[in-house]
Amino acid sequence: MVGESFIITGLLLIAAASLFKSKRKKWAIATLPLTVLPAVNALVGFFSRVILKVKLGFVTEICIIMGALIVSCTWIGFLTATLLNRRKARVPYMIGCIAFNIALAAIFMGYYYSVLEL
């Protein structure tokens, strides 16, 4: 899942860069919280498996994912309250971003559960 996480993070950063280039700076900043969960998953997986050569336990991986999910959702809530001015844009943005993060976290957890060695 490390490679997939790097790809997801890269695609989200490309989306943010394209929004920034098209002079939609608020929306470019608003897409950055979506990169937290896949970036944390990719970096933790890369450092633990490639550099340190350590296999993390299932509970440790789930705690890292949940921590990244909490940080990302908190950042989304903060940006919704401060950055987006129109109410019409706030609700769909917040629902969509939080749903994306929860679905991605569930996919990561399902993967780590499937490779769990009992």
pTM above 0.75, yes or no: yes
Q: What is the pLDDT, as a whole number, of residue 102? A: 97
| DSSP one-letter string for 26-41 | HHHHHHGGGGHHHHHH
Answer yes or no: is pLDDT of 118 > 80: no
List pLDDT tens digits, range 30-60. Answer: 999 999 999 999 999 999 888 888 888 899 9
**What is Dmax (Cα atoms) for the chain?**
51
- Listed in sequence order, the residues at least 6 apart from 33 whose beta carbon sits closer than 8 Å to its beta carbon are 72, 73, 75, 76, 79, 97
